[in-house]
Structure 1
Amino acid sequence: MDAEEGQSDGDIASVMGFSGFGKKARTFDLSAIFEQTRRTAIERSQRVLEERENEDQMKDEGGTPHSVKKSLKSAPASARKRSESSSDSDSEIGPPLPPQHNPEDDDDEEELVGPPLPPGYTAHSEDDEDEGEAQDEDDDDPVKKIPDTHEITLQHGTKTVSALGLDPSGARLVSGGYDFDVRFWDFAGMDQTLQAFRTLQPCECHQIKSLQYSVTGDVILVVSGNAQAKVLDRDGFNVMECIKGDQYIVDMANTKGHTAMLNCGCWHPKIKEEFMTCSNDGTVRTWDVNKEKQHKAVFKPRSFQGKKVIPICCTYSRDGKLVAAGCQDGSIQIWDRNLSVHTKYHCRQAHVPGSDTSCLTFSYDGMTLASRGGDDTLKLWDIRNFKKPVNVANGLTNYFTMTDCCFSPDDKLLITGTSVKKEEGNGKLVFFDRTTFQKVYQIDVTNASVVRCLWHPKLNQIMVGTGNGLVKVYYDPLKSYRGAKLCLAKTKRKEKHTEMLAQDYIITPHALPMFREARQRSTKKQLEKDRLDPKKSHKPEPPVSGPGRGGRVAAHGGTLSSFIVKNIALDKTDDSNPREAILRHAQAAAEDPYWVAPAYTQTQPEPLFAEASDEDEEADKEPEWKKRKI
């Protein structure tokens, strides 16, 4: 059978064009290996015990164990080899020792009882055990996981940074502020100068309220003080813009979009095309990126009396099934995403009425909701029992309608920022334990309010936006990954200076003597030449003689109207009596009436013209200088 299999393998190899199928895999007898290891360990432990007994015996006799070693070294080589071979044949079973092994080190080894340790494993001393216990304590203490040993500062501008967004991979950061600018930061592309690679104003003269990357990280939702939200791609180019609704329609559900200023917006955590916005028109709307002319659904928050309430912030639950909104009357209202009429959870007195609830965020397990109120509180809610908060923290000053709160990646801490007035202290980033809700840690960020905060779960870095235009990134070189660590490793590129040769001369053709114009020795001749040139001397045009040409009339006037007045209206060539001038046509009109007379022949009498009186004749005889000029 083996010969037949070998022949068939050879035939297949020759047909497929290669020499063989490779070497045959080695096989190991595990039971024999374990038995050999056990016997070796037992023999080694016995040899160590015998050596210790010999050392004790030598000490009693007054010698030292080193004398035994010296006697062995001073013995002839043949005897040493014979003794080593006999001892090896008697005691050692297994593979030979490596060539770099020093047999003298065996005397200093500690006693080993039991089977040898597996490869890659070292015996733990008491110090190692202490380190392990300390590491366990670090795992139990969430404060020691806060990455705040190092920080970098990104200069967004001089006004409040009101929006921050990190893509899911943590490679890019976007920041927006009250200066209408949106800046793009690339951690992998930045060097130590920490400059943004792009700055734009997507919403013209409107403050940026919220920025967020989608689940896939390919587009960014931009929510500003405008009534229309925008979606940009990763490089800042416009993808879509929501339609604006009709502000004259009373029922906001019948309009296609928002009619007032936006307050907040966020992406759906599961569906990459869907996002949500809330506005001062009293609605929360969901949108589809591919359908910018119409919203998907409308949620209308209502007060206890059924009146319209303005939502300040909105968010999705972690699974995307719930839609939550924090309203201006202090209530928190939560809907089922597929049922937009009645709320599923509703707390009327969540915060003080009239205070703006600036942030809502769900924990990673989806059972807990944190709310940051405008009444200087931070509250923790269990949505299964939404009547009263689980924990409350007071005294957290809040001056902004977009102050953040968020959970740590391990869901054990809750962080938020505090606001301060100008030159009245430092804004702080405060950390609370989720279970006890005790303040366990705080960071003094800068001498301005802390508005935005993000704790990215993949990078394990904390991004903070402040009221003086700074974006601070806190990280730990040992606990954080990529992000800010990438740009600090890059040095600033040196500018390449172009070397110029000072000895080279550039000669233009007109610089040669044969093409050079003769230099004027005096300015008088040049002035005379310029005077003859009509363009240089601005010589006025001579008067037109004759009827006129080129749109210009003769000496009678510069315009056509003056020419007509002087030549036609004031024509004095006809000095005859006007009565005689009219009566010249009387005979022709009577013999052959053509224009007016035929129409009145039946009704009008014959005209009788008065004869010239003596006064008219005397007037005609007046001298020329007495006649009135017309």
Structure 2
Amino acid sequence: MDSNNAEDNLSGDGDITSVMGFSGFGKKARTFDLDAIFEQTRRTAIERSRHVLDERQKADEEGQSSTTVPTQKDKKIAPAASRKQEDDSSSSDSEPIGPPLPPKEDDVDDDDLVGPPLPPGYRGSSALSDDDDEDDEAQEDNEDDDNPVKKIPDTHEITLLHGTKTVSALALDPSGARLVSGGYDFDVRFWDFAGMDQSLQAFRSLQPCECHQIRSLQYSITGDRILVVSGNAQAKVLDRDGFNVMECIKGDQYIVDMVNTKGHTAMLNDGCWHPKMKEEFMTCSNDGTVRTWDVTSEKKHKSVFKPRSFQGKKVIPTCCTYSRDGKLIAAGCQDGTIQIWDRNLSVHTKFHCRQAHIPGSDISCLSFSYDGLILASRGGDDTLKIWDIRNFKKPLNMANGLTNYFPMTDCCFSPDDQLLVTGTSVKKDEGHGKLVFFERATFQRVYEIDVTNASAVRCLWHPKLNQIMVGTGNGLAKVYYDPIKSHRGAKLCVVKSKRKQKHAEALTQEYVITPHALPMFREARQRSTRKQLEKDRLDPKKSHKPEPPVSGPGRGGRVAAHGGTLSSFIVKNIALDKTDDSNAREAILRHAKEASENPYWVAPAYKKTQPNPVFAEDSEEDEDAEKEPEWKKRKI
């Protein structure tokens, strides 16, 4: 009874395991005799090769080899059979190694086939050569990918004319649709790549800071605002179309402690937006402070950072930037030091490198790499250095001989973080400004671009567009791109032809055909446009002939011609009369002869009643009195 129950339980468990899908658990794994399998495979291969050779011999004897075309099946088998025969002849004692040859369809079933059949179009050694060529091409492509110089987009360029003076600021929005340029001529110009044609004209130009040089421009991370840093003490924020959003407040210049002032009190040097927070930006000034601001509160700064020298004295920061994550604030100073603070701790520096550049040389730019570990600094001592943030005592590499005459000369990293770019300065008519490319790992000078016969001041390498923008010392903004490697940007405007100006034809009018009009209202049909133009030219209304000058006293608010009014007559005849009237008697007697001969004003009225004039005659006493000296004459 117990044995029956046990058997029922076992059968029930078996059914359950089979239903659940793990009935095979616990069983012993199958074992295979590999030696026996290889031996069987060897024998099958030998039999197949012998069978193929026998058929070939029979075909040769019957003379069919020269007249018949081998089938696809024979083409597949023959090379393998010949290789097998060579192996058997060379080493008869050794066992064949490798997969068996495919058998004939008549002799072997589909279940006995080992391995996949040869692909259609197989050409033996030629297929191998094609694969080798493809491998070589892929290897060359990989080498091009590994070479960072091949990724520089400089095959084509366009030139944007900003003005005649130095382009000291450049900015691209995050999407790469608009470029903003500012210069020493106080102008800020807006360029829209999608809206420009081959004429390459800016769609807007303005002077946001009046007569102050533009030092820096930058778009916010959302691209809807532009930070404008100029030579005055107040930074401005514009919207995307150039309208004013806010203006930083100016501090009290009579307060000694700059922390207690609400804003900068001296000229600004640089500024930038926070990389993560769209409302915050930073500026540095000649008052010795670096300040952070909030767009929503323009009445006061958020925080103040004060660079100090080794003796604890005030130092002027010449450039400033955020780290890629926005947690660090770095400033380059006039004494050649680089000072980095934690954004939330404004008292003591987190990293401080003394004599990063020669003391007294202004550091013109600081730039963090995209991975956030490397800091590049461009000095006024004609050097370019890179630093590791984790070990900030000594530079990793340094390049010399990079002339720098401007306090805002840029340096930036390539989008793949393998190259570092900066510009060089030249004096007028003494050479060409260049863009110099350094490899980040080895810091070798791998490439150069001759920009123009002036200094290369600003440089940008946009990661989305993969295009390089350069601001020069002669008022040009150049854009370098590659039609294959670059995207949008300059590629959009170079393909658009110039728009033709529409000339307003004021002299012509449309001819309206009215077939059922009465004869008195019917217009004559135009035979020639030229004749109609000549007629319209003679018509004063259609040709907009200017009105002739007014004759007479003037009417309708228009002034009469010269001499037509009393005032103009007086000016012309009396006021402008240059006769000498110093002797009044002579001036009056000048008209005496004409008045006596032709009396017109007074004499005709008294002609009948006027008595004859009686004049005193000259006597001898009078003559003697005239001869007496002045002091003897009687005083009356």
Whether the TM-score (by the shorter chain) exceeds 0.5 is yes
Q: Which of these residues, 147, 150, 155, is aligned with residue 156 of structure 2?
A: 150
Residue 387 of structure 1 is matched in structure 2 by 393
* SS of alignment partner, residue 442 of structure 1: strand
Amino acid at match of 1:126: D
Residue 481 of structure 1 is matched in structure 2 by 487
Q: Which of these residues, 451, 457, 468, is aligned with residue 457 of structure 2?
A: 451
Amino acid at match of 1:413: L
Task: State the shift of 1:494 in Å.
Answer: 2.1
Distance (Å, rounded) in 2 between the aligned partners of 1:359 and 1:228: 21
Matched, 1:110 2:116: no
* SS of alignment partner, residue 358 of structure 1: strand
Task: State the shift of 1:495 in Å.
Answer: 2.5
Equivalent residues in 2 for 1:145-184 (5 A)? 145-184=151-190
Distance (Å, rounded) in 2 between the aligned partners of 1:178 and 1:289: 26
Distance (Å, rounded) in 1 between the aligned partners of 2:473 and 2:168: 8
Q: Which of these residues, 283, 294, 297, is aligned with residue 289 of structure 2?
A: 283
Task: State the shift of 1:460 in Å.
Answer: 0.7
Structure 1, residues 147-183: CA drift from partner, whole Å, max 9, x if none?
1111111111111111000000001001111111111
* SS of alignment partner, residue 409 of structure 2: coil
Equivalent residues in 2 for 1:185-200 (5 A)? 185-200=191-206
Structure 1, residues 522-577: CA drift from partner, whole Å, max 9, x if none?
xxxxxxxx9999688669xxxxxxxxxxxxxxxxxxxxxxxxxxxxxxxxxxxxxx
Residue 328 of structure 2 is matched in structure 1 by 322
Residue 603 of structure 2 is matched in structure 1 by none
* SS of alignment partner, residue 315 of structure 1: strand
Amino acid at match of 1:418: T
Residue 496 of structure 2 is matched in structure 1 by 490
* SS of alignment partner, residue 132 of structure 1: helix
Distance (Å, rounded) in 1 between the aligned partners of 2:448 and 2:61: 63
Distance (Å, rounded) in 2 between the aligned partners of 1:373 and 1:450: 15
Task: State the shift of 1:59 in Å.
Answer: 12
Task: State the shift of 1:123 in Å.
Answer: 11
Distance (Å, rounded) in 1 between the aligned partners of 2:246 and 2:494: 35
Could you state the TM-score of these two structures normalised by the residue count of structure 2? 0.63
**Is this contact kept in 2: 1:244–1:257, CA < 8 A?**
yes
Amino acid at match of 1:110: R
Residue 445 of structure 2 is matched in structure 1 by 439
Task: State the shift of 1:468 in Å.
Answer: 1.0
Distance (Å, rounded) in 2 between the aligned partners of 1:230 and 1:59: 100
Distance 1:246 1:56, change over 3 A: farther
Distance (Å, rounded) in 2 between the aligned partners of 1:474 and 1:438: 22
Distance 1:58 1:338, change over 3 A: farther
Task: State the shift of 1:234 in Å.
Answer: 1.0
Distance (Å, rounded) in 2 between the aligned partners of 1:304 and 1:468: 39
* SS of alignment partner, residue 259 of structure 2: helix
Distance (Å, rounded) in 2 between the aligned partners of 1:252 and 1:403: 28
Equivalent residues in 2 for 1:355-504 (5 A)? 355-499=361-505, 500=508, 501-502=529-530, 503=532
Distance (Å, rounded) in 2 between the aligned partners of 1:281 and 1:272: 26
Distance (Å, rounded) in 2 between the aligned partners of 1:334 and 1:167: 27
**Is this contact kept in 2: 1:425–1:448, CA < 8 A?**
yes
Paired residues, number: 437
Matched, 1:311 2:324: no
Distance (Å, rounded) in 1 between the aligned partners of 2:206 and 2:58: 84
**Is this contact kept in 2: 1:55–1:65, CA < 8 A?**
no
* SS of alignment partner, residue 125 of structure 1: helix
Unaligned runs of 5+ in 1: 1-45, 70-86, 94-105, 113-121, 512-519, 521-529, 540-628
**Is this contact kept in 2: 1:55–1:64, CA < 8 A?**
no
Amino acid at match of 2:254: Y
Residue 273 of structure 2 is matched in structure 1 by 267
Amino acid at match of 2:409: T
Amino acid at match of 1:318: R
Distance (Å, rounded) in 1 between the aligned partners of 2:364 and 2:503: 52
* SS of alignment partner, residue 443 of structure 2: coil
Structure 1, residues 200-240: CA drift from partner, whole Å, max 9, x if none?
11111111100000000000000010110011111111111
Structure 1, residues 398-457: CA drift from partner, whole Å, max 9, x if none?
111100001111111111111111111111111111111111111111111111111111
Residue 226 of structure 1 is matched in structure 2 by 232
Distance 1:316 1:538, change over 3 A: same
Structure 1, residues 317-363: CA drift from partner, whole Å, max 9, x if none?
00000000000000000001011111110011111110000000111
Equivalent residues in 2 for 1:229-268 (5 A)? 229-268=235-274
Unaligned runs of 5+ in 2: 1-47, 72-103, 111-118, 509-528, 543-550, 552-561, 572-635
